[in-house]
Amino acid sequence: MATVAATGADETQRLSEWLRRIAVGDCGNFADLYRATAGRVYGMAVRVLRDGSHAEEITQEVFLEVWNKADTFDPLRGSPLAWLLTLAHRRAIDRVRSEQSRTDRESLAARLDHRRDYDDPVVCTVISRMSSDAFENRLDELTALQRQALVATYYDGFTQHETARLLGVGLPAIKARKRDALLKLKRLIESENETAQTLERLLPS
């Protein structure tokens, strides 16, 4: 047990010294660090992502970050290996979230396209500016009738004719509700973008 602990302490000291030297541009120690830890960084990434190619990309990103930010490593907050694995875990989680967001957007776009509403320029504008999560979160901003029309057609899979029968209104009314709802969502997005741009201009340079 004492030998294992000593070995771990030796590795921590060695990796810390390499990181210190990498921070001042030592390419040789960067190669040493990579050979000593890349397998474990990859292992962390692949456990999260379950995909070898994505895990390889994350591993490359982690070591690029190490090269650029080795001076940010703080030995008082943990070991070098723990720092590397934390970087890998964070990037892998971000990749999972990014892939899920992309899948959600594609799924929503497919549902819209299936109903041939993508020809409507209002729909195109709204969907191009909003992620699936943002689209869903803003449903609460709509009236009950507008929300019913959107949910029935975009999420429950009903055609416009089926939605009209389900809600007991005419087809023109369904189309009007959907268009009013999408126009309102579009205005909300534009208002938020203008607010964000104003705040950005007020920030000190």
Structural domains of the chain ordered from first start? 2-99 (1.10.1740.10), 115-202 (1.10.10.10)
pLDDT confidence of residue 156: 62
Overall pTM surpassing 0.75 (yes/no): no
DSSP H helix total and E strand total for the chain: 9, 0
Per-residue pLDDT tens over the stretch 153-176: 766 667 778 878 877 888 888 888
Residue with tokens 């030796």: 10
Which of helix, strand or coil describes residue 96? Answer: helix
Q: Give the per-residue pLDDT at 103.
A: 66
- Rounded to the nearest angstrom, the gap between the alpha carbon of residue 146 and the centroid of all alpha carbons in its chain is 29
pLDDT of 30 > 70? The answer is yes
Residue 145 has pLDDT above 90, yes or no: no
Query: What is the predicted pLDDT for the residue at 57?
Result: 95
With 80 as the cut, is the pLDDT of residue 79 above it?
A: yes
C-alpha–C-alpha distance, residues 8 and 48, integer Å: 25
Q: Which residue has the tokens 């973008």?
A: 193
The per-residue pLDDT of the chain, averaged, comes to: 77
